[in-house]
Amino acid sequence: MAHRSYTFGFQLTPWVKRLIIANAVLFLLTWVAPGAWRWLAFEPARILVQPWGILTYMFVHGGFWHLLINMLMLFFFGPPLEQMWGGREFLKYYLVAGLGGAVFSFVFAFNYPVVGASAAVFGVMLAFAMNWPDMPIYIWGIFPVKAKWLIMFLTVIALMGALGGAQDGVAHFAHLGGFAAGFLYLKLDDRVTHKVRRLRKNLQKQKFSVATGGGPRRRPEPEEEALLDEVDRVLDKISASGLASLSEEEKKILDEVSRKYRQN
């Protein structure tokens, strides 16, 4: 993954703002009607009667400080990712990381209810560290720590808490699930990006000349060249805005040409 430069600012992006508002509203709801907490939490043992919990749990918090810390992390680390990926891709990644927390909780902490945006937020922090690993994060506003070391430290803490059976009220397995789901998602995206780069290389060779068994070199036919130009435009769009920016028609074009010119 290519590393990028970034300077922290305080401008909320649209989906980060919506997520913070949604979490705040749900917190107020559970404060006014405490019984709502049970219906919004994720309880692995009740998944068949309360399946919506795998999604709603990440918008419910156990207390004000729990909410505040998660939203502060989302406030700082979310906007640069949404600016880079776009709102739709950012939201998808956020939910994937949150669902990863639910999966790990189901597998490893079946008897415990889970609430909080921590798994999704931990996934966001991981994505930030993978894109800006050397960005200094100031702990308590004083001590600078590079993003990559901070995320490693948090991963170790979550792993120790999970394996040590910590009874501190912290959903360590959910945190690990957020890390794991986020990491796998980003690595899959890296593989897709690699395929796109390889396709671009193949198309560049095809556009300028096609060698035919040592014979004369030929240019593509006009229709073929127009198609290759269109694919080149789509590849530029992926480089600028990510895969999520493509329309269904553009994805079909990319698949068609990829199959046609794939190197065996």
Query: Does 3 fall in a domain?
Result: no
Query: Does 9 fall in a domain?
Result: no
Catalytic residue selected from 61, 66, 172, 175:
175
* 56 and 170 inside one domain: yes
Last residue of a domain, one of 158, 185, 212: 185
pLDDT tens-place string over residues 218-228: 455 666 667 76
Catalytic residue selected from 118, 194, 245, 258:
118
Q: What is the 3-state secondary structure (H, E, C) of the chain?
A: CCCCCCCCCCCCCHHHHHHHHHHHHHHHHHHHCCCHHHHHCECHHHCCCCCCHHHHHHHCCCCHHHHHHHHHHHHHHHHHHHHHHCHHHHHHHHHHHHHHHHHHHHHHCCCCCECCCHHHHHHHHHHHHHHCCCCEEEECCCEEEEHHHHHHHHHHHHHHHHHCCCCCCCCHHHHHHHHHHHHHHHHHHHHHHHHHHHHHHHHHHHHHCECCCCCCCECCCHHHHHHHHHHHHHHHHHHHHCHHHCCHHHHHHHHHHHHHHCCC
**Which residue range(s) make up the domain with 216?**
194-261
pLDDT tens-place string over residues 226-243: 776 777 777 777 666 656
Count of structural domains, the chain: 2
Nearest to 258 by CA among 229, 236, 228: 228
* 145 and 243 inside one domain: no
pLDDT of residue 216: 47
* 72 and 114 inside one domain: yes
Query: Does 6 fall in a domain?
Result: no
pLDDT of residue 252: 78
* 145 and 204 inside one domain: no
Query: Does 8 fall in a domain?
Result: no
Q: Supply the CATH number for residue 43's domain.
A: 1.20.1540.10
Between residues 218 and 78, the one the model is more confident about:
78
* 254 and 167 inside one domain: no
* 150 and 202 inside one domain: no
* 133 and 166 inside one domain: yes
* 124 and 82 inside one domain: yes
* 41 and 126 inside one domain: yes
The answer to whether the CB of 41 falls within 8 A of the CB of 58 is no
Mean pLDDT of 175-190: 88
Query: Does 215 fall in a domain?
Result: yes
Q: Report residue 217's pLDDT band, with 50, 70 and 90 as the boundaries.
A: very low
Q: Catalytic annotation on 239?
A: no
Last residue of a domain, one of 132, 157, 185: 185
Last residue of a domain, one of 162, 185, 208: 185
Q: Report residue 90's pLDDT band, with 50, 70 and 90 as the boundaries.
A: very high
Q: Is the confidence at residue 50, as pLDDT, over 60?
A: yes
Q: Catalytic annotation on 175?
A: yes
Query: Does 2 fall in a domain?
Result: no
* 92 and 206 inside one domain: no
pLDDT tens-place string over residues 125-169: 999 999 888 888 887 777 888 988 988 988 888 888 777 665 555
Query: Does 100 fall in a domain?
Result: yes
* 105 and 150 inside one domain: yes
Name the pTM for this structure: 0.73
Query: Does 141 fall in a domain?
Result: yes
Q: Report residue 56's pLDDT band, with 50, 70 and 90 as the boundaries.
A: very high
* 171 and 211 inside one domain: no
Mean pLDDT of 203-207: 60
